[in-house]
Chain A
């Protein structure tokens, strides 16, 4: 299982393929205030798109430089501009958004 859904969190692990976009979308449709925790090595574009479209609160870490430098700003912008609180982590860059309840 690479998409694990709990009451208030959606945890993405391992390699999330295109087929995981649907469970992710479904989980966010049910509860838009679930925090998405990215612990995955790689997310398929389809999942990034769901995150860009629905803009949930996101936490986690990734080691992909393209994702960190160019994609994440797109996923995280608007809602949280200037409120990114970088976490220190060992597996590449980490990122988190404070869950202020301001989203959606």
Chain B
């Protein structure tokens, strides 16, 4: 079912429940103000939520009910208990509509007539609305399962999808072996999480396969195979005629709404557990050094593996709870685009792809404001007016396309319009006029750097301040909002063809993958999402360039910094150097370190106290041996 509708269904049933309770309390005590207010709020919220969907009959009825309560609320008279029956009738009818929506995504044809009857009853007429039996409807099954089930007519076929996480080899999983042990497979396809990397950078220890298969074995037997990784597999049996509606109601009742703060506490706790578990590595070594301690160290190591696996599962399950599809934010946009383009007399279509990609709730929620700014800019500055578009040989309606893609641990959102593109000469001159850059430098800027001017605080190209954009909060606000989420923003444009804004964000903010490096005799952590590759180069390949150094990586000149130098403890040069290639937002940078250590996922603790004021430190974490290390923010250090 549609995500928004799903939430509405859960919420609506809670609200009707609340309103019924309040009405029944009012029947006992018509003067109870709190119950009256609570009932009013419930109807009000219901009406508001219904407004998100095209459900005219429901909206009419709920609006009338809300009016009725608000009149009582504002007036001196006590609640007339004669209204309770029609109001309860309305609640019952609302619930039945919600069930129809759950089952079929639409209301029965007879509902508008029933709505009129209910309105009449509320106004004092006879209540004539008889209960419609809800016809059974097929349960919504996901598309992937549907296409699998369509491949084979067997009535008892079970479709399943097994998506082992990239790091599953470290938990001792062997996905192919697991698939091989599933009984009754008649069809299977294997998809890739991401395209294969080139041989020289392929990481053989990242699991990259996603399995879709159809089996004739009973569902329970398939579940049994995946009992250790239940969160990585979804199993969809062929829906059975007649049973579907009951099953979907049962499903509804198994949903639990939990405050995000409870989940966060769980995620934090698991993060601590993972960090604490790292200490066992040191115990294994310590036991090994004891005389005759080898068996003990083996037992500890075994116990560690088990805890590892379980903690990993726990963590994935907990993080999974926080994941919501991007469509949650994306579906709020078409309405916005319609409104904004109407304000400026342009016609714009919005096309959205990739809404099914899931990311941490905190990230999805925080995306709304940046997307709003970007869309406003695209409509106001990017897309031309219909006459101008026709002159340029374009269709009169502009198109803005938002495409989301998952790239490893990150999600990329490209927001592209087919408008006029950025007038870079104008951008340069405005930046000069606004005193953001001196004229000599402005003239020398490359196209890429000139685009960067748009991100300067205070930059605005709008000649007049419109309602829509051009208030001086623009791309700089977008960039800082996205960077706060651990993401980055890029903007490119082609004159006459359009502008593309690319956002890259982590999928999850709760855990950070960290790589431990040695530099200047100490250990530091670097967030893995900033590191694109590691390589070893001979010292001769590093050429001095003015005050700095650089090397050539696949025909690209990459500046080099030495981590030890950045930390203020220069080290002698070596014959060959270990280089991490990092993307700091200002292009790739090679960072020379002494050694690379373990990689792990951790909850980053933000720096506290004095550490807060140290630039370039984004947090701390605990190593396996209990040692606390600093996590460095390369971008800030290099600046």
Contact = CB atoms under 8 A, between A and B. Distances in A.
Contact of A66 (B173, B180, B189, B208): B180
Contact of A67 (B175, B180, B207, B209): B180
B188 A69 contact: yes
B204 A52 contact: no
Interface in A40-75: 42-46, 48-50, 52-54, 64-67, 69-71, 74
Contacts of A48: 176
B180 A46 contact: no
Contacts of A43: 176
A32 interface: yes
B185 interface: yes
A8 interface: no
A70 B175 contact: no
B188 A45 contact: no
B190 A74 contact: yes
B175 A45 contact: yes
Contacts, number: 71
Contacts of A49: 204, 207-209
Interface residues on A, range: 20 to 34
A45 B176 contact: yes
A25 B174 CA distance: 18
Contacts of A45: 169, 173-177, 207, 209
A70 B174 contact: no
Contacts of A18: 169, 174, 205
A28 interface: yes
B504 to A, nearest CB: 24
Contact of B204 (A50, A64, A70): A50
A38 interface: no
A21 B176 contact: no
Given A29-B199, A69-B188, 11 more contacts: A42-B177, A46-B205, A48-B176, A53-B196, A54-B202, A66-B180, A69-B185, A70-B179, A70-B187, A70-B190, A70-B213
30 contacts: A18-B205, A21-B205, A29-B199, A29-B200, A42-B177, A43-B176, A44-B169, A44-B174, A44-B176, A45-B173, A45-B174, A45-B175, A45-B209, A46-B169, A46-B204, A46-B205, A46-B207, A49-B208, A50-B202, A53-B197, A53-B199, A66-B176, A66-B182, A67-B180, A69-B185, A70-B187, A70-B188, A71-B176, A71-B179, A74-B190
Interface of B: 169, 173-177, 179-180, 182, 185, 187-190, 196-197, 199-200, 202, 204-205, 207-209, 213
